[in-house]
């Protein structure tokens, strides 16, 4: 006589399970730690060998698919239903009362058996083998802590006799414990003379699944039973005559076990450290997404991160502003960033422009690397998942006439810039000179791109978004009137401001912190605009106290001053005679393209004529003359003043 011993069940969790769990944690579960239905499959006992002789429960990415059970081949796998308990912190995972947890899970089986007892039915294999998986995901280090359990209701049985099988155990598709008569034919539980246990193990001891069946037999008044253990695949069945301990009480809550042991036989959770196995680029991708998706859990659940991620952003300027804007864009998850610049990296740049280092200031020919291409490479070194490119391109500037020798290259630059605008959704104007912003402003309006502008003074900055036309007619513009552009407050067309400049005029002389502030605000303004239901067509009223987006307001202009550390939000409508965004200039550009642009570059006075600024000047001069005329003193006035 010896106590009945059973072989435990082991679990194998595939890495795809944790990959799927990570995705669900970020996008679905978030901070919800309530239990979730999952599934697993147990390898068909027929495939077991003497070297692999215990049942294995396998979990992979299909465990989260409710339809996976229907897709499983019953000849290959046995499907099990289960529950996932994913905790938010490692402390919560550790501090769970494991005994109470398992007792609660076991009582679900116990209550199921009580119902089946009243019905006189035998429990099926799935009823008695519901598994429970306790997990914690450390998504920053890509480590997964988990503990697997199948609750077991224990009853005290002693082996009275072990013998070879006396009845035919030819499998008929059944699994688990089957009541039979003495000749091996299936019958109802109350008619049973013997039992056949179609085991999931080829071990010398029956698998642990037998214990829940034996507990059910004890509940139904069986004191002694004969169980034939049918071993899968190998054909060597044996029978056990079992005796229930006389002191066993089925009316009391049973002792419940079932936590899986570690490889060294101790009770405790397992750790899957996938960080060293996964491609570092993939880890970086997931880490970037993690930081952003944490915002959605409690702070901004309505935040549309996919919209941000899919934006294609063109940065005109790869210097101080371009470097900081690019870094902030990557922080928001933007994957497509393109630079345009025609400058080389100099020794003064790396301390102010974080995408460059000292070694970039010189190359084989003694010159620094091109800013645009080096900035693109730097982004990929920071985050390999970014799609970044750089173009060494000089933006044609109004007021800078084109010589016959340069016309071909200027036309090529214009065509390339136009192509880049077509390939991107958002354009940042981050250049040094005012005139270099004119063509991109016009081109952005014509191609309906969201254009954002950042400009620096010594201790001041301007950040703004340009208005967009939804229709070609001014009277059809969204909300009555669109927002103004960078040039809408000017009464003269931009002109050459670069020729004969002194050293301090050739460099952007500004307090070092100004560029960081302006760059950050420009990117944050973009993000708020993207979250607005009207997007790039969003209007703005400084007197409105309503919050327009999940991120707050979407202002038109932000002007900051460091001398008194103040910041002001302003709004200005478009100017009908603006040199860059008036309908007259826009229509000329759409009609004549490069020919119109070339004429404006050669002669800024022509641009003033087309835009209507010339008439504004004439009207102003006429008004001034009338005012002076009204102020002329009469003879009577002379008498008063004498």
Q: Please give the average pLDDT of every successive group of 10 residues along the chain, which has 642 residues.
A: 87 92 89 94 63 76 80 66 96 95 95 92 90 94 93 94 79 81 90 90 82 94 93 74 89 90 90 79 77 82 92 97 97 96 94 94 84 97 95 93 90 96 98 93 97 95 93 48 90 71 57 95 97 92 72 94 94 92 95 95 91 86 73 56 49
Distances (CA, A) of 171 to 9, 71, 221: 22, 23, 27
What's the gap between Cα 300 and its chain centre?
14
Joined together, the tokens standing for residue 232 give 């899968």
Active-site choice (507, 578, 581, 600) = 507
Contacts of 510 (CB under 8 A, 6+ apart): 456, 457, 458, 459
d(CA 622, CA 627): 9
- Tell me the residue ranges of DSSP E strands in 306-418: 312-316, 336-341, 387-392
Measured in degrees and rounded to the nearest 5, phi and psi for residue 58 equal -110, 135
Joined together, the tokens standing for residue 591 give 């009609």
Contacts of 134 (CB under 8 A, 6+ apart): 85, 87, 93, 96, 101, 146, 147, 149, 269
Q: What SS3 state is found at 526? A: helix
Q: Thinking of the domain 302-543, which architecture would CATH place it in?
A: 3-Layer(aba) Sandwich (3.40)
Joined together, the tokens standing for residue 564 give 């008194």
CATH 3.40.50.720 domain locations along the chain: 302-543
Cβ-contact 510, 457 below 8 angstroms: yes
Cβ-contact 347, 326 below 8 angstroms: no
d(CA 298, CA 161): 62
Q: Is 507 a catalytic residue?
A: yes
Looking at residue 631, its pLDDT comes to 64
d(CA 54, CA 260): 13
d(CA 294, CA 290): 6
d(CA 456, CA 85): 53
Cβ-contact 165, 239 below 8 angstroms: yes
- 2-273 to CATH, choices 3.90.1640.30, 3.40.190.10, 3.40.140.70, 3.60.40.10: 3.40.140.70
Q: What is the pTM of this model?
A: 0.76
- β-bridge partners, 341: 392
d(CA 13, CA 19): 11
Cβ-contact 102, 259 below 8 angstroms: yes
Distances (CA, A) of 444 to 472, 581, 626: 14, 9, 40
d(CA 634, CA 642): 12
Joined together, the tokens standing for residue 384 give 């390999």
Joined together, the tokens standing for residue 34 give 């309530």
- β-bridge partners, 251: none
- N-term to C-term CA, the chain: 139
Cβ-contact 123, 216 below 8 angstroms: yes
Cβ-contact 546, 579 below 8 angstroms: no
Looking at residue 478, its pLDDT comes to 41
Neighbouring CB atoms inside 10 A of 192's CB total 20
Measured in degrees and rounded to the nearest 5, phi and psi for residue 245 equal -60, 130
d(CA 316, CA 427): 7
CATH 3.40.140.70 domain locations along the chain: 2-273
Tokens 């519901």 label which residue?
A: 130
Distances (CA, A) of 377 to 56, 373, 380, 414: 48, 6, 5, 24
Distances (CA, A) of 187 to 101, 184, 227: 36, 9, 14
Tokens 């915002």 label which residue?
A: 295
DSSP 8-state class, residue 228: E
Contacts of 194 (CB under 8 A, 6+ apart): 167, 179, 180, 181, 182, 184, 225, 226, 227, 228
d(CA 22, CA 18): 6
Cβ-contact 159, 140 below 8 angstroms: no
Joined together, the tokens standing for residue 186 give 């299936």
DSSP 8-state class, residue 552: B
CA dihedral sign, ordered 590, 596, 598, 600: negative
């Amino acid at each position: 006589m010896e106590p009945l011993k059973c072989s435990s069940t082991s679990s194998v969790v595939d890495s795809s399970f944790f990959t799927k769990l990570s995705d669900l944690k970020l996008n679905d579960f978030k901070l919800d730690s309530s239990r979730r239905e999952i599934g697993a499959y147990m390898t068909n006992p027929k495939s077991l060998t003497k070297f692999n002789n215990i049942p294995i429960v396998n979990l992979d990415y299909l465990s989260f698919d409710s339809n996976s059970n229907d897709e499983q081949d019953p000849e290959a796998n046995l499907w099990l239903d289960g529950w996932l308990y994913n905790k938010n912190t490692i402390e919560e995972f550790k501090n769970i009362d494991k005994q109470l947890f398992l007792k609660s899970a076991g009582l679900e089986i116990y209550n199921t058996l009580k119902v089946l007892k009243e019905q006189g039915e035998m429990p099926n294999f799935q009823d008695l083998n519901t598994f429970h998986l306790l997990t914690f995901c450390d998504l920053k280090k890509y480590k997964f802590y988990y503990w697997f359990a199948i609750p077991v209701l224990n009853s005290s049985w002693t082996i009275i006799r072990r013998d070879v099988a006396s009845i035919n155990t030819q499998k008929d598709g059944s699994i688990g414990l089957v009541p039979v008569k003495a000749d091996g034919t299936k019958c109802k539980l109350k008619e049973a003379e013997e039992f056949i246990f179609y085991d999931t193990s080829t071990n010398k001891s029956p698998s642990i699944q037998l214990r829940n069946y034996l507990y059910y037999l004890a509940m139904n008044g069986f004191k002694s039973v004969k169980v034939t253990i049918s071993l899968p695949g190998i054909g060597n069945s044996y029978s056990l005559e079992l005796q229930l301990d006389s002191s066993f009480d089925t009316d009391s809550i049973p002792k419940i076990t079932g936590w899986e042991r570690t490889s060294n036989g101790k009770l405790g959770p397992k750790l899957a450290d996938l960080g060293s196995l996964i491609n570092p680029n993939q880890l970086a991708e997931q880490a970037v997404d993690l930081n952003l998706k944490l915002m959605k859990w409690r702070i901004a659940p309505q935040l549309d991160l996919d919209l941000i991620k899919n934006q294609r952003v063109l940065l005109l300027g790869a210097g101080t502003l371009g470097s900081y804007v690019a870094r902030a864009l990557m922080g928001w998850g933007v994957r497509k960033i393109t630079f345009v610049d025609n400058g080389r990296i100099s020794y003064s740049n790396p301390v102010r422009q974080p995408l460059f280092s000292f070694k970039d200031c010189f190359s084989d020919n003694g010159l620094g690397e091109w800013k645009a291409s080096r900035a693109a490479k730097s982004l990929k070194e920071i985050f390999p998942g970014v799609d970044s490119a750089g173009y060494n391109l000089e933006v044609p500037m109004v007021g800078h006439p084109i010589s016959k020798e340069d016309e071909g290259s200027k036309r090529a630059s214009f065509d390339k810039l136009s192509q880049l605008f077509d390939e991107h959704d958002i354009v940042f104007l981050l250049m040094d000179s005012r005139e270099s912003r004119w063509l991109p402003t016009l081109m952005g309006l014509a191609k309906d791109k969201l254009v954002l502008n950042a400009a620096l003074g010594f201790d001041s900055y301007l950040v703004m978004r340009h208005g967009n036309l939804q229709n070609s007619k001014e009277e059809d513009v969204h909300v009555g009137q669109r927002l103004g552009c960078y040039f809408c407050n000017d009464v003269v067309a931009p002109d050459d401001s670069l020729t004969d400049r002194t050293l301090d005029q050739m460099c952007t002389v500004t307090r070092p912190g100004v560029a960081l502030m302006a760059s950050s605000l420009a990117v944050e303004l973009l993000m708020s605009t993207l979250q607005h239901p009207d997007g790039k067509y969003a209007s703005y009223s400084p007197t409105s106290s309503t919050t327009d987006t999940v991120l707050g307001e979407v202002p038109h202009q932000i002007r900051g001053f460091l001398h008194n550390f103040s910041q002001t939000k302003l709004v200005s409508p478009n100017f009908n005679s603006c040199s860059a965004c008036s309908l007259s200039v826009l229509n000329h550009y759409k009609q004549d393209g490069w020919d119109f642009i070339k004429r404006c570059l050669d002669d800024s006075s022509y641009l003033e004529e087309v835009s209507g600024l010339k008439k504004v000047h004439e009207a102003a001069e006429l008004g001034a003359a009338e005012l002076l005329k009204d102020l002329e003193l009469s003879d009577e006035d002379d008498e008063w003043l004498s």
